[in-house]
């Protein structure tokens, strides 16, 4: 889930301008994660660059034959392709590209919108997020499952701990539910230093500066909270399970778990005599909503 570890590769193809559609088709056939045509100010007679984004290089022969095939389908000869070049993509470039496609997301009570997007008048609570390189734009199923759990279970007098806060989205959502004159502790932690910086910026953007963010994870020193939310992956949750249970007084939400990992997590929970929990599903992801005795 950590975008920072991802290395993107861009395949840049210089082609005869009118053959760009054929090349895009080939890139999609090759499993490109996204494509882009760089045709600013070019007239049809000139060449242009078509870019395909990949997280690993496709097989060289496959690449050549897909391009050749696509050109033939669109009635071009191989000569329409002038140059092929691989480039490693700086995270930032990819992000700029990806940002263009990020649109506001709605849940029952919230609209999560990028900072640059206009939001129409609404009764819902608007959360503004500048993602930079942190996870948590509200579009991911695992985040949506947590937002749902918050919408359905959070009461304004509860303290809240967000383990793996990313952009800070869940902590911000909770702070938005609180009554300004009567605030209970909201804390977000993340092992990723950049995420904490971004989370603080987002809290400021949303006027929820009362949230306390810190670098790190849940630990023996962490105090108890009424509501603990952990949108991490199953492999990260498992070693933290004892602490997550110990530190949650009323509710524990575990998210970032794949459908097929349900029995793995449920099996671990029985070791703590926990067998009664609610499972919510969104696509291939599930969350476990566990009521804790006081
Ligand atoms: N809460 C956000 C982000 C979830 S992504 C949302 O729901 O959208 C998971 C985050 O957990 C990442 O930002 C990652 O850096 C962080 N993380 C990974 N392992 C962790 C750990 N052991 N303790 C705390 N944070 C962790």
9-61 residue pLDDT tens: 889 999 998 888 899 889 988 888 777 776 554 455 578 888 888 888 899 99
132 φψ region: left (φ > 0), alpha (ψ -120 to 50), beta (else): left
Among 162, 166, 228, residue to substitute to test ligand 1 (most atoms within 8 Å of Cβ): 166
- With both helix axes pointing from N to C terminus, report the angle between 141-153 and 169-177 in degrees, rounded to the nearest 10: 20
Considering only residues 147 and 38, tell me which one the structure prediction assigns the higher pLDDT.
Answer: 147
Residue 3 reports pLDDT greater than 50: no
230 CB near ligand 1 (under 6 Å): no
pLDDT of 278 higher than 90: yes
What pLDDT is attached to residue 24?
86
Provide the CA 174 distance to its chain's centre, in angstroms. 18
> Is the beta carbon of 196 within 6 A of some atom in ligand 1?
no
pLDDT value, residue 1: 46
Strand duo 110-114 + 125-129: pairing? parallel
Q: Is the CB of 125 under 6 A from ligand 1?
A: no
Picking from 38-52, 91-105, 140-154, which range would have the lowest pLDDT averaged per residue?
Answer: 91-105
Top mean-pLDDT range of 7-11, 130-134, 286-290? 286-290
Instruction: Tell me the average pLDDT across 79-85.
Output: 93
Predicted TM-score (pTM) of this structure? 0.72
Q: Is 141 in the pocket of ligand 1 (CB under 6 A)?
A: no
């Amino acid at each position: 889930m950590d975008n920072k570890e991802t290395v993107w590769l861009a395949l840049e193809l210089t082609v005869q301008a009118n053959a760009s559609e054929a090349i895009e088709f080939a890139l999609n056939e090759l499993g490109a994660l996204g494509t882009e045509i760089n045709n600013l100010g070019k007239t049809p007679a000139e060449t242009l660059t078509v870019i395909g984004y990949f997280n690993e290089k496709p097989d060289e022969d496959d690449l050549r034959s897909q391009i050749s095939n696509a050109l033939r389908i669109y009635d071009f000869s191989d000569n329409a392709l002038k140059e092929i070049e691989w480039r490693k993509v700086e995270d930032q470039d990819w992000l700029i590209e990806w940002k263009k496609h990020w649109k506001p997301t709605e849940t029952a009570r919230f609209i999560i919108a990028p900072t640059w997007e206009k939001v129409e008048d609404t009764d819902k609570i608007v959360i503004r997020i500048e993602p930079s390189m942190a996870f948590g734009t509200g579009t991911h199923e695992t985040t949506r499952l947590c937002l749902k759990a918050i919408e359905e279970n959070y009461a304004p007098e509860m303290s809240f701990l967000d383990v793996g806060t990313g952009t800070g989205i869940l902590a911000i959502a909770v702070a938005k539910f609180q009554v300004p004159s009567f605030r209970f502790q909201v804390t977000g932690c993340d092992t990723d230093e950049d995420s904490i910086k971004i989370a603080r910026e987002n809290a400021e953007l949303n006027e929820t500066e009362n949230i306390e963010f810190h670098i790190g994870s849940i630990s023996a020193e962490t105090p108890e909270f009424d509501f603990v939310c952990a949108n991490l992956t199953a492999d990260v949750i498992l070693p933290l399970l004892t602490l997550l249970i110990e530190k949650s007084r009323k509710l524990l939400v575990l998210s970032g778990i794949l459908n097929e990992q349900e029995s793995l997590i449920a099996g671990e929970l029985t070791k703590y005599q926990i067998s009664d929990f609610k499972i919510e599903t969104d696509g291939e992801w599930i969350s476990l909503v566990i009521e804790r005795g006081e």
